[in-house]
Structure 1
Amino acid sequence: MNLDLADILLVTTVVIIAALFWRAHGIRERALIYTRKYCEREQVEFLDDTVGMEKLTLQRDGNDKLRITRIYRFEFTVTGGERYSGHTIVMGGVVQRVELPPHRYTPPPEQLH
């Protein structure tokens, strides 16, 4: 079996694309886990148990290095009747923050008495 340069380049390209896809999937999973825990801590209900890519961009970090920044969108509710959209920002594979827009606050039942 003879491999020429075109075959080697094709295999290398496929491997690189697969590796990038695998890494992107891992970053998305980290964003999902972080967002789920954040919503629990903030006492809001994380809806649909998913985050979706909204934007992919390059931004500079605190050390002035360009990093791939992913902004994931998710939905949550406080009252069960209204859906709000939040964002999870991941820079260079590390979750930076979760942003929740202004929303209604409903105190837990034990605080109403």
Structure 2
Amino acid sequence: MLDLKELWLFALLGVAALWFWRAQGIREIALRATLQHCVGEEVSLLDQTVALRRIGLRRDNALRLRLWRRYQFEFTVTGGERYRGHTDMLGMNVSKITLPPHRFVSTPDDRRLH
């Protein structure tokens, strides 16, 4: 038979597993949003991954306290240089994706006639 200490331990392990499972889901949302943003900006997401860099508490637009996460990723334009960007998540929502200044590669369609 289980005593109270063992029940608390199982409950704690269950909560930890649930938190880990939900965190992985939020990371997947951040990865999909980052990939979509990189495609729109015509840059290549390197390693096809985002990495958790910071975590904290922030308020959303309704002034509710939410868990804030910053994920870092690397991207390239030319294949030769690596740049670091970040994706901010507030709860399960993407709040901001930031790409630092980087090179642009001109395509034949960008030629202008003067």
Match of 2:34 in 1: 35
- Kindly state the Cα deviation for residue 107 of structure 1 after the two structures are TM-superposed: 2.0
Counterpart CA distance in 2 for 1:46 and 1:109 is: 23
- The alignment's TM-score, normalised by the length of structure 2, stands at 0.92
Match of 2:44 in 1: 45
Match of 1:69 in 2: 68
Letter paired with 2:17: A
What's the % identity of the aligned pairs? 46
- SS at 1:71's partner residue? strand
- Kindly state the Cα deviation for residue 95 of structure 1 after the two structures are TM-superposed: 1.1
Deviations 1:21-79 (A, max 9, x none): 00000000110111011101110011111100010011111111211100000000111
Please give the residue correspondences for 1:16-27 in structure 2 after superposition, counting only pairs within 5 Å.
16-27=15-26
1:94 aligns with 2:93: yes
Counterpart CA distance in 1 for 2:78 and 2:108 is: 12
Q: How many residues align?
A: 112
Structure 1 runs of 4+ with >3 Å offset: 109-113
- SS at 2:48's partner residue? strand
Deviations 1:2-36 (A, max 9, x none): 11111111110110000000000000011011101
Letter paired with 2:57: L
5+ residue gaps in structure 1?
Answer: none
- The alignment's TM-score, normalised by the length of structure 1, stands at 0.93
Counterpart CA distance in 2 for 1:20 and 1:47 is: 27
5+ residue gaps in structure 2?
Answer: none
1:104 aligns with 2:103: yes
- Kindly state the Cα deviation for residue 112 of structure 1 after the two structures are TM-superposed: 4.4
